[in-house]
Amino acid sequence: MKLGILINEGPYQHQASDTALQYVKAALKKGHEIYRVFFYNDGVNNATRLATPPQDDRNITKEWASLAKDHGIDLVVCVAAAQRRGILDKGEAERNGKDSDNIEDGFRISGLGQLVEAGIQADRLITFGD
Amino acid sequence: MNMLHTINKSPFENSTMSSCIAMCSQDSSILFIEDGVISVMKSTKFSELIENALKEFKMYVLKPDLEARGLSLNNVIEGVEIVGYDEFVDLTTEHKTVQSWL
């Protein structure tokens, strides 16, 4: 089955991103396809490669990035939510005159249309948030 | 409608659980995750609500989230099924839609 995932909460805030990660891993193991993971509201904070959690703690951003790499998952960050929270790719940094970008490899910035599309194309859309 | 409801908040924190049970239609199921798992503990002021609702809906609770909170599996109200992430995935695919109460 094709599954769409919506994440509305940042990493280390409560538990939504951890639950979503475990859910996605279990779904992949069962042979389901993850159509897209859409990061919205504070969920966009999952996409910064500059986060440096302690070495003995999980690195949620890296876990998403490596899942995306291994399984070809489309990780999409909402552009308007990202701009408000300082999550930028190279193009957005240049367009807004910022001195750097911070998005992790495997994530891409796009619009809400991508969430609507996931809702239409996926068989289920499952929301994780706070 | 055949819907899976997920509840991730403690009933002591807000009224999500009570609202969900009031709104749920008969062939729905409820899965308790994260802080929501406390809802299905025996001998709380919410136990009776859960026990009555069990006559109408199937209820499930996520085992890793019970364990993460040090809650004993023996204290889960009888009739509530204890599941892992694999069954969480099955529940989302077996139901027509998923409503996450946040």
Give residue B1's pLDDT.
66
Structural domains in chain A?
2-128 (3.40.1260.10)
DSSP state of B56: T
B27 vs B25: CA distance, rounded Å = 6
* Secondary structure class of A119 (helix, strand, coil): helix
Mean pLDDT of A85-114: 97
Chain B partners of A119 at a C-beta cutoff of 8 Å? none
Which amino acid would we find at residue B101?
Answer: W
Nearest of A63, A15, A38 to residue A122 by alpha carbon: A38
Q: How confident is the model at residue B26 (pLDDT cuts 50, 70, 90)?
A: confident
**Element counts in chain B: helices (H) and strands (E):** 4, 5
Q: Is the pLDDT of residue A130 over 90?
A: no
Give residue A55's pLDDT.
96
| Per-residue pLDDT reduced to its tens digit, B39-96 | 999 999 999 999 999 999 999 999 999 999 999 999 999 999 999 999 999 999 999 9
User: pLDDT averaged over chain A?
Assistant: 97
High-pLDDT (> 70) share of chain A, %: 100
| Per-residue pLDDT reduced to its tens digit, A51-71 | 999 999 999 999 999 999 999
Q: Is the pLDDT of residue B100 over 80?
A: yes
Is residue A105 within 8 angstroms of chain B, CB to CB?
no
pTM: 0.97
> What CATH topology corresponds to B3-101?
Hypothetical Protein Ychn; Chain: A, (3.40.1260)
Contacting A with CB below 8 Å, chain B residues are 8, 33-35, 64-65, 84-86, 88-90, 92-93, 97-98, 100, 102
Q: Is the pLDDT of residue A76 over 70?
A: yes
Which of A25, A27, A130 lies nearest to residue B102, judging by beta carbons?
A130
Give residue A119's pLDDT.
97
Mean pLDDT of A73-98: 97
Mean pLDDT of A5-25: 97
Domain regions of chain B by residue span: 3-101
Across the interface, whether the CB atoms of A32 and B93 are under 8 A apart is answered yes
